[in-house]
Amino acid sequence: MHNRVLRGMLTSIAHQGNELMPVDTKAATDRLMRFLAVEGVTGQEAAIGRELTAALTEAGVPAEAIRLDDANTRIPVPTETGNLIVDLPGRGALHNQPRIMFMTHMDTVPLCAGAKPKKSGRKIVNEAKTALGGDNRCGCGVLVTLAAELEKQKLDHPPITLLFCVREESGLYGARHVKLDELGSPVMAFNYDGGSASNVVIGAVGADRWTVEIFGRASHAGVAPERGISSTMIMALALADVKAGGWFGKVVKGKGASARMGTSNVGPVTGGEGRPAGDATNVVTDYVHVRGECRSHDGKFFKEITKAYKTAFEKAARKVTNAQGKSGKVKFKAETDYFPFRMKDSQPVIKRAVEAVSAVGGTPNVRTANGGLDANWMVRHGIPTVTFGAGQNEAHTVDEWINLDEYDRACALALHVATMR
């Protein structure tokens, strides 16, 4: 112990049997700072993929164990690169145990472009007026640190797959489109995303994303407004109807234990790709494009919320007519982004996660999430997956910061999970 203190960098401890396994937290933080400095917004992950590959190689992972898959060829929106997959063969007494997987995502939200990370005591903050990118450079740091410590300390562990997903922030596409045979058949997985390292997330909402195109009729708003059909008015009536019906924002239908709950939101309102909705104040707007989402832990209920929006837009289109008696039209499309899940408490992956959090000094907070996770798709693929945090706070905002004590704990947690007997 004294030698570790003298080196001044080994503060997080995991256990193998009765042995203490220190994590080199200085190296772990250095990796995190290195990854935070690499821009990689969703869909543009090639540069961070190269940086992660370099860091893994420096940590002693053989180049032939690191590869990119071709998920980007199946993702329906432009994506620079595939998921990064690493195969760590088992070692020692655990070498023939069932394979496990650790995963995270390597993209950030677009707001992180231009971030300038800076250490400030036991925090990492941002000198730029952007989001920081801790979501999910912290997860990347944890996984590379895990590989580095397993190699440096020659620790016994089962076969391990590391998966760094693309396009999590824009629809969980990397996890959705990964081929299962690329992952080596893990029996369980541990996903790193936002929040505290003591969080053990065992379920999450499902969500629809929807778009509606509203077609009206243009007319001069001062000379002949009665000839026009206002797409803007159709939208306004539809959204007022949705709100009056209790389908906007926090949605609760029923009471008590049988109450069904979810959320919905209306996002960008435009005139199509990069165009404003409407051409001028003196023209009746003939086209509006609206995007929104509906979520719930109940797989049927988020569809019901989506249906309420569709019905409201169709009803509003029939209501708005011009002097000739013609009405507007709508084209409503909905697609399921991800499906809800809630694993049973008896799942071995949950038991392992809870025990590991306690072992590294945390108090397990077993919970469900109201946001989508790559775990949604992993569970749907048949791989039981829990999600831990890694010290990210105020993610997706200009106030984002990283708690280094939590990040250190997340690194120790990964090492403990990987080496449990």
Dump pLDDT digits (tens) for 332-376: 999 999 999 999 999 999 999 999 999 999 999 999 999 999 999
Do 354 and 303 fall within a single domain?
no
384 or 7, which is more confident? 384
SS3 384: coil
Do 53 and 149 fall within a single domain?
yes
Among the candidates 303, 338, 373, a domain finishes at: 338
CATH number for 298:
3.30.70.360
Question: Which structural domain, as residue segments, surrounds residue 189?
Answer: 2-204+340-419
Do 56 and 189 fall within a single domain?
yes
Do 16 and 97 fall within a single domain?
yes
Return the percentage of the chain with pLDDT > 90, whole number: 92
Categorise residue 139: left if φ over 0, alpha if ψ from -120 to 50, beta otherwise. alpha
Among the candidates 305, 338, 371, a domain finishes at: 338
Do 80 and 114 fall within a single domain?
yes
Express each pLDDT in 68-92 by its tens digit: 999 999 999 999 999 999 999 999 9
> Would you state the pLDDT for residue 14?
56
Closest by CA to 171, choosing from 258, 310, 68, 78, is 78
For residues 79 and 166, the answer to whether their CB atoms sit within 8 Å is yes
Express each pLDDT in 117-170 by its tens digit: 999 999 999 999 999 999 999 999 999 999 999 999 999 999 999 999 999 999
What are the residue ranges of helices labelled H in 160-300? 173-177, 231-244
Do 33 and 162 fall within a single domain?
yes
Task: Quote the distance between the C-alpha of residue 152 and its chain's center.
Answer: 30
Express each pLDDT in 315-336 by its tens digit: 999 999 999 999 999 999 999 9
Residue 18 has pLDDT above 90, yes or no: no
At 16, is the pLDDT very low, low, confident or very high (cuts 50, 70, 90)? low
At 15, is the pLDDT very low, low, confident or very high (cuts 50, 70, 90)? low
> Would you state the pLDDT for residue 1?
38
Do 6 and 61 fall within a single domain?
yes
Residue 206, token pair as written in the block = 């499902």
Residue 175, token pair as written in the block = 């996890």
> Would you state the pLDDT for residue 274?
81
At 10, is the pLDDT very low, low, confident or very high (cuts 50, 70, 90)? very low
For residues 322 and 217, the answer to whether their CB atoms sit within 8 Å is yes
Express each pLDDT in 210-225 by its tens digit: 999 999 999 999 999 9
Closest by CA to 260, choosing from 191, 313, 210, 205, is 205
Work out the average pLDDT over 250-274. 94
For residues 387 and 194, the answer to whether their CB atoms sit within 8 Å is no
- Structural domain tally of the chain? 2
Do 13 and 37 fall within a single domain?
yes
SS3 36: helix
Do 348 and 303 fall within a single domain?
no
Residue 138, token pair as written in the block = 């912290």
Do 301 and 227 fall within a single domain?
yes
Average pLDDT, the chain: 94
Do 219 and 272 fall within a single domain?
yes
Do 238 and 195 fall within a single domain?
no
